[in-house]
Amino acid sequence: MTTVVHDAAVTEADRRSVDAYWTGGGIAEVAGADATDHLVQPAWTGGGSIARTVGRLFASSGVDGGSGACTATVVGARTVITAGHCVRTSVEGSTAPNAAWDRDLYFVPGYQGGSGPHGGFTVRRVWMAEDWETDGRDVAMLEMNPGADGRTIADAAGVQPISFTAQPGAVGHFFGYPYTDRVLHCTGATERGIGTALMRIPCHMGVGSSGGPYLLGDPAAGTVVAVNVSGDATTSYGTALGTFAQSLYRKSEHG
């Protein structure tokens, strides 16, 4: 398996530009399509660390420049985890390694109603698989820049535990922003999906929840064991975190 690393907002000028874009109207544009009632799953009201660490990841498409959002979670001192397809856009007729890199990546932990209590953070580098469209590879670790006040993402929002050896079978909890103004939550017994690469949970969330965490244990402070990548009318499927995801995590945390 080949790892690729992509530089995003590396310079101070890059960071200021990305921050200005999203705070200057970009987030509001995306939020204009958000649901505020008739939610597909209940909103999370249980507090805990998950209310701070999970948030929305905004991006501009590398193909057409359109704005969109996924879900992501703080899992390290400077690392946020999401789905690989949340940071790259497939190009019709081309292969996964030639997909376009999305631009202006911007993460808002604890997002609710148009903003977050901890501010927003730009992405310095993206770590992911070259063959990210393969089952079990659709995951990305985002190496984050400090916030405008100099605090790290972990200092601002805390860190959700992460495991690369968890087995399905226990009750799991799935959090996501399926184009909603607040994070939603559903729960159910986790099972192994296709082969051993995916984990599934019996609940539907929808577009925008990609990258959202599947947690085992206490839903307010549990351990991230997968990230959501797809779903149908009854079931959601996530990339189960294993040795390759662990190698990405170490590279993001330590360079």
- For 158-209, the pLDDT digits (tens) are 999 999 999 888 999 999 999 999 999 999 999 987 677 999 999 999 999 9
- Copy the structure tokens of residue 150: 């100099």
State yes or no: pLDDT of 212 exceeds 90: yes
Question: Rounded distance, CA 88 to CA 61, Å?
Answer: 8
State yes or no: pLDDT of 94 exceeds 90: no
pTM of whole model > 0.85? yes
Which domains occur in the chain, in start order?
3-35+49-159 (2.40.10.10)
Mean pLDDT calculated for residue range 93-117: 93
pLDDT of residue 93: 78
H or E segment and range at residue 4 = strand 3-7
State yes or no: pLDDT of 151 exceeds 90: yes
Question: Rounded distance, CA 180 to CA 216, Å?
Answer: 23
In angstroms, the first-to-last Cα distance of the chain is 18
Q: Is 39 exposed, middle or buried (0-12, 13-18, 19+ CB in 10 A)?
A: middle
Least confident range from 17-26, 115-124, 185-194: namely 185-194
pLDDT of residue 194: 66
Mean pLDDT calculated for residue range 5-23: 97
**Closest listed residue to residue 36, CA positions, set 208, 175, 179:** 179
**Mean pLDDT value across the chain:** 95
Question: Rounded distance, CA 127 to CA 132, Å?
Answer: 11
Task: Kindly write down the DSSP assignment for every residue of 137-186, as one continuous string.
Answer: ---EEEEEPP-TTS--HHHHH----B-SS--BTBEEEEEE-SSBSS-EEE
pLDDT of residue 199: 95
pLDDT of residue 171: 96
pLDDT of residue 65: 83
